[in-house]
Amino acid sequence: MTEPQNTPINQDSKDSKSMATPVKNSAVTKASKPANTKPTAIKADETDEQERTLDMPNTPHPVFIEVNERCLISAEQLKRYTNPDELPSDTRTAPDLDVGFGQQRALKALQTALDIHASGYHVFAAGENGLGKRTVINRLLQRIAADAPTPDDWVYVHNFTDPRTPQALRLPAGQGQILQQQVNQLWQQAKKRLSQRFRSDQYQSKIEAIKNDTHQKESQAYDDLNTEGKQYDLALTFRAFDNKAVFVHPSKLSTEENHQSTDHSKISSSQKNQTTEEKTAPPTKNNLDDDNANSEYGNAYGKSEYEAELNNFAQKNHMQKRLSQLTIALEQLEDEANDAIEALHRNIARRALQPLFAPIYEQFAAHPLVVEYLKTVFADMVTHVERIVNGDDEEFVTAVLATTPSRYAVNVIVSHAPDSGAPVIFEDLPTHLNLLGHVEQITQLGTVTTDVSMIRAGALHRANGGYLLLEASHLLEHPYAWQGLKRALQSRKIRLSSLEQMLTLTGSLSLAPAPIDLDIKVILLGEADLYYELLELEAEFDAVFKVRADFHDDVTRSPEHELALVAKMADIIDHANLYPFDSSAQAALLEHLSLQAEDQDRLSLHSDLLIKLLHESNRHARLSGKNIVSAIHVTHAIDDMDERSGYLRDLYWDELKNGQQLIQTQGDAVGQVNALTVVSYADSEFGMPARLTAVIQPNIGAGEILDIERDVDLGGSLHAKGMLIMTSYLRALFSQHHALNFSASLAFEQSYAHIDGDSATVSEGCALLSALANVPINQSFAITGSMNQLGEVQAVGGINSKIAGFFDACREQELTGQQGVVIPMANVKQLMLRDDIIAAVQAEQFHIYGVQTLSEALTLMTGLPVDTMDKKGRYRKDTLFGKVLSRLMLWDENQNADDEVDDKKSKKKDKKKRKAKRQKKQDKQKKAKKEQDDCCANTAEQL
C-alpha pair distances (Å), 898 with each of 48, 700, 895, 904: 18, 14, 5, 10
CB 673 within 8 A of CB 760: no
Contacts of 678 (CB under 8 A, 6+ apart): 13, 14, 16, 17, 18, 685, 686, 687, 688, 797, 798, 801, 802, 805
Q: Is 778 left (phi over 0), alpha (psi -120 to 50) or beta?
A: beta
- Return the half-sphere exposure (C-beta side, CA atoms, 13 A cut-off) of residue 35: 2
Q: Which of 774, 741, 696 lies closest to 891, judged by CA?
A: 741
DSSP letter for 296, please.
H
Of 17, 24, 272, 802, which is the active-site residue? Answer: 802
CB 110 within 8 A of CB 547: yes
Name the phi and psi angles at 864, rounded to 5. -115, 155
DSSP letter for 660, please.
S
CB 850 within 8 A of CB 825: yes
Q: How many whole angstroms from its chain centre is CA 676?
A: 36
Q: How many whole angstroms from its chain centre is CA 908?
A: 82
- Rounded CA separation 497/502 (Å): 9
| Bridge pairing between strands 820-824 and 781-783 | parallel
User: Residue 542's beta-bridge partner residues?
Assistant: none
CB 834 within 8 A of CB 804: yes
Of 759, 763, 801, 886, which is the active-site residue? Answer: 759
Q: Report angle CA 172, 173, 175 to the nearest 5 degrees.
A: 70
CB 735 within 8 A of CB 885: no
Contacts of 572 (CB under 8 A, 6+ apart): 578, 607, 610, 611, 614
Helical pair 559-576 and 607-623, crossing angle rounded to 10 deg: 60
- Return the half-sphere exposure (C-beta side, CA atoms, 13 A cut-off) of residue 97: 19
- Rounded CA separation 186/261 (Å): 53
Q: How many whole angstroms from its chain centre is CA 926?
A: 103
Please return the burial class of 787, using the count of CB atoms within 10 Å of its CB with bins 0-12, 13-18 and 19+: buried
- Rounded CA separation 341/335 (Å): 10
Q: Tell me the three state secondary structure of residue 665.
A: coil
- Rounded CA separation 499/506 (Å): 10
- Rounded CA separation 399/548 (Å): 49
- Return the half-sphere exposure (C-beta side, CA atoms, 13 A cut-off) of residue 626: 16
Burial letters for 871-888: b for 16+ Cβ neighbours within 10 Å, e otherwise? eeeebeeebbbbbbbbbb
Q: Is 245 left (phi over 0), alpha (psi -120 to 50) or beta?
A: beta
Q: How many whole angstroms from its chain centre is CA 879?
A: 59
Q: Which amino acid is at 656?
A: L
- Rounded CA separation 137/103 (Å): 10
Q: Which of 565, 600, 559, 558 lies closest to 86, judged by CA?
A: 559
871 is catalytic: no
802 is catalytic: yes
CB 182 within 8 A of CB 363: yes
Tell me the catalytic residues. Answer: 759, 802
